Structure 1
């Protein structure tokens, strides 16, 4: 895979929009505003890169629609979702510096002296807070009125915002060209320097995989019943891909696809995900959209074409009776067939709201029936059967690690 970090983060930030039409574009607008402020302030290139990464993911800790909408209030406290966002990002070496900025993007400047954090990170978090509040103001008023925006912002310096940052905003606000991209669908696409700034960070494949793990937590940590699912699917799929003889690059793509295969479930309300029983027709229709939504997000990232296909086809069937596209066997690659079996295997073995996880023998019986009915690939199932002990040990280890992370993640977090 040949990925640009700018494209990867911009694409994944689009997944955060799936929660509601009311939050669509917020991350990209804030990232655009922050980037323009950073350039106007002549920040060093490394700081501008950090600011952009923090801005494009700043509300990543808003796991629920309620928390996302609350953050769109101008007076929002935001302490809980900012802390959760920090916890999601801090373990990734690529994002750990940006994580501190995310953690304090709702902390007023007047309180920053009390914090034991790198001073420059706090200054950048203050700048991100300003960019965030500017978008909230324009979103709430449904218009771009520079004088009105400045009238709301200026009195809050120096308590909430740094005076120099507000001065930089005043310069930008007087320029009509600053506001124009904010009315479009993707303002970050108009930025010329930020892609280069991020490429200077020399991102490794391992760091991209870690970033996908953070996003798997965003998907899974909304519910204790799904808290480990994506990690289990990813490990199961990689194990099967190894047994099928896939090359290292394909194994890396498989782990990314496993981590992100349920990305579209960010659009599914928690009430449906946690329902202790069968879904009704309306709920099933909402749930069944998630592979198509994942395809829409991932396919827009250059270099993720294979990942997008494998991730979005995990509910297709060889007989053409799957969804979302009803593809038949000749249209499904080996990677997609592996992902499909890995998803079913993991789902059967783990606890769900309506049942306990099944034992290996019962799981294999169900997989045999599904293969006989044309749902799963018999060759992939044979690989699973021949390597069942290793497959289950690796799946279990991955899910146990994710479960520990889930418990640690919420430890000490302020109550919503």
Structure 2
């Protein structure tokens, strides 16, 4: 079985950061390539190069997730980030930059009040948000077991060489070398993309000794041809994975689960009303899948998809998720992109293909009225149907800026009504409600009397496995498989493998 590499997961997070900050896709990946080339040119030792690799990929992740306070201060946080490279931000320049963006989208009166408060408090509110972003990224690195060599530099994301950064507790050689490499690479990438080689050289010269370590700037100026070689044409994802300092280290299942659970927790930071949502949906959906008798491998897919199903939310401005009034058409369309973004983020990791598909389908509906692809009927496997039901049931029980949480009984009735209307699979709904402790009137399945083991045999049969292959997959004897198939054919009223497989597809047991 193909396992997931740690580098793939962390690189995926960098794509999430690009989305959340409204920056071009693979921007952080290109920054990482520059970071590693610059480290090599500077003769940096292997341990620090490894730390710089992961620091570069994760530095801006905190800015992409916990943005609700940032949106409250600046409106659309992506516009703030888009302008952040333009000037050497420190002291008066930083104050002017902040004042210019405070209260974006608000009335003149409110903006004036916010600017006055900012000046009176010396920008404490903005500093707190910046420090929170650093802490979030550092804690995520800790959960991914990347060690202090990565966690510490991430806390210094907004510090500067001249000591005039945020929180202003480190400068010069007290800044981790990994941080100094990333600071220079970040700006070199941004200016190279918009103004070419001359733009990259100019920003390095102008900020030498202020924002950037002068020795690294000198190294870059001397070796810029090598550092920037082919940057416009490279396949950034492939290049970054090839540079993996851990040489393709693969994650065992328990560590992969821990990482995906951390992804879900991180995605929930996008809105304070959603804290714990992904973790709870994952457990409820997995319990519902087990209640239906799905194969253990499918239960694992459902749980993992539940953890990451909302990671695409990071690519949508916080103002959308925190809107206290009904969405405008533009806001609604923006929100509806998040399952597609989830799918796109996870598509780069082949070993998570089934998880990505399931996660991306949590807003699809049986009647074709869902999104992002408008799938319906047989196109939606039972794994996706269960996740969709668990997501809606749990969300209804959580408060949102525009509504209060529903009592469990009312949430269950809404979900059951959606099943009656043909938008949800009633078996998935019943399984989720049963797993949530709600009593349901129907039996959990309309598979005529199939046991959990018979269901597993049917799924393997529908996937094209022969009797010996089914026996091997389920670790039972061939005779046992033959007996189960006889019972399945009799209970379903079919006489061929094809008819049994079609039944399994119609009822969402296989995709």
Task: Give the alignment's TM-score, normalised by structure 1.
Answer: 0.80
Asked whether 1:41 is paired with 2:92, we answer no
Instruction: State the alpha-carbon separation in 1 of the partners of residues 322 and 159 from structure 2.
Output: 33
Q: CA deviation at 1:250?
A: 4.2
Change in Cα spacing, 1:316 to 1:188, as seen in structure 2 (3 Å) is closer
Kindly name which structure, 1 or 2, has the bigger radius of gyration based on alpha carbons. 2
Q: Offset at 1:280? A: 3.1
CA contact (8 A) 2:342 2:356 kept: yes
Structure with bigger RCO (C-alpha 8 Å, 6+ apart): 1
1:375: how far off? 1.3
How far is the alpha carbon of 1:152 from its aligned partner? 2.5
Partner residue of 1:406? Answer: none
Q: Which of the numbers 94, 105, 110 marks the counterpart of 2:145? A: 94
2:82 aligned residue: 69
Q: Secondary structure at the match of 2:36?
A: helix
Q: Give a deviation string over 1:196-223, Cα, whole Å, max 9, x none.
A: x234655343333333344334432232
Question: Matches of residues 324-343 of structure 1 in structure 2 within 5 Å?
Answer: 324-343=372-391
Counterpart contact for 1:100–1:121, Cα < 8 Å: no
- Per the alignment, residue 228 of structure 2 pairs with 179
Q: CA deviation digits over 1:6-29, x for unaligned, max 9?
A: 222222321222236545433112
Distance 2:366 2:268 in 1: 27
Instruction: Summarize the alignment of residues 6-405 of structure 1 with structure 2, pairs less than 5 Å apart.
Output: 6-19=7-20, 21-62=22-63, 63=67, 64-69=77-82, 71-76=84-89, 80-81=129-130, 83-90=132-139, 91-97=142-148, 98-111=150-163, 122-139=176-193, 141-145=194-198, 147-153=201-207, 155-156=208-209, 160-175=211-226, 178-184=227-233, 186-191=235-240, 193-195=242-244, 197-199=245-247, 201=249, 203-246=251-294, 249-389=297-437
What do you get for the CA RMSD once the two structures are aligned?
Answer: 3.1
Deviations 1:375-412 (A, max 9, x none): 11222222223332399xxxxxxxxxxxxxxxxxxxxx
Q: Specify whether residues 202 and 190 from structure 1 end up closer, same or farther in structure 2 by C-alpha distance, changes over 3 A only.
A: closer
Separation in structure 2 between the aligned mates of residue 231 and residue 299 of structure 1, nearest angstrom: 21
> 1:94 touches 1:207 (CA, 8 Å); kept in 2?
no
Q: Distance in 1 between matches of 2:236 and 2:360?
A: 27
**1:365 shift after superposition:** 1.1
Q: CA deviation at 1:249?
A: 4.9
Tell me, yes or no, if the aligned pair for 1:23 and 1:69 is still in contact at 8 Å. Answer: no
Alpha-carbon distance in structure 2 between the residues aligned to 1:200 and 1:299 = 18
* Cα displacement (A) at 1:138: 2.7
> Which residue number in structure 2 is paired with residue 399 of structure 1?
none
Per the alignment, residue 405 of structure 1 pairs with: none
184-193 vs 53-62, greater mean Cα deviation = 184-193
* 1:130-166 residue CA offsets vs partner (Å, 9 max, x unmatched): 2123223334x5222264344225x32xx65444433
Aligned partners of 1:99, 1:149: CA distance in 2, in Å?
28
Return the offset for 1:334: 1.7
- Equivalents in 2 of 1:12, 1:108: separation in Å? 24
Number of residue pairs matched by the alignment: 382
- Tell me whether 308-317 or 357-366 shows the greater mean CA deviation: 357-366
Are the aligned partners of 2:367 and 2:376 in contact in 1 as well (CA < 8 Å)?
Answer: yes
Residues 3 and 251 in structure 2, CA contact (< 8 A), matched pair in contact too: no
* Aligned partner of residue 30 in structure 2, secondary structure: helix
Give 5+ residue unaligned stretches, structure 2: 68-76, 91-125, 440-511
Residue 42 of structure 2 contacts residue 219 of structure 2 at CA under 8 Å; is this kept in 1?
Answer: yes
Stretch moving more, 379-388 or 200-209: 200-209
For the 8 Å contact 2:204–2:212, the answer to whether it is kept is no
